[in-house]
Amino acid sequence: MSVRTLFVGILEDLRDEATKVETNFTEDQVRAAAVNFLLGDPYGRTDEEVHHNIASIEYFQKGLCGFGPNWVVTVFVPQGDELNNQSIKGTLHFDDVNGQFACWNLPFLD
């Protein structure tokens, strides 16, 4: 094994350790909460439909929406039937401290 290969391996291990962050909620828990929160038209009539319309989930240590660490759930609903005549794209912000959705920029949510 060359010194270069060993060095690259050590750097990759350090990078992996640096990206591990302790959170109060897992991505799967946030996804389940998002599916429950969004269930219904136009985001999906079933859990599977809503799950399919969740484009990504990312964790941010420096919170958005004016609060601490949070998960950002990006939602994309393609253009569909008469109830959804244009595509929808936006985000939900899940507070990692209290387990609530704190803000969003998606239509049809009260």
26-52 pLDDT, tens digit per residue, is: 999 999 999 999 999 889 999 999 999
Q: How many Å apart are CA 105 and CA 26, to the nearest integer?
A: 22
The C-alpha atoms of residue 62 and residue 44 are separated, in whole angstroms, by 30
Give the per-residue SS3 of the chain. Answer: CCHHHHHHHHHHHHHHHHHCCCCCCCHHHHHHHHHHHHCECCCECCHHHHHHHEEEEEEECCCCCCCCCEEEEEEEECCCCCCCCCCEEEEEEEECCCCCEEEECCCCCC
**Peptide bond preceding 42 in cis form (omega within 30 of 0):** yes
pLDDT 10s digits, 68-102: 899 999 999 987 655 557 889 999 999 999 999 98
Amino acid 5: pLDDT:
59
Per-residue pLDDT tens for 53-72? 999 999 998 877 877 899 99
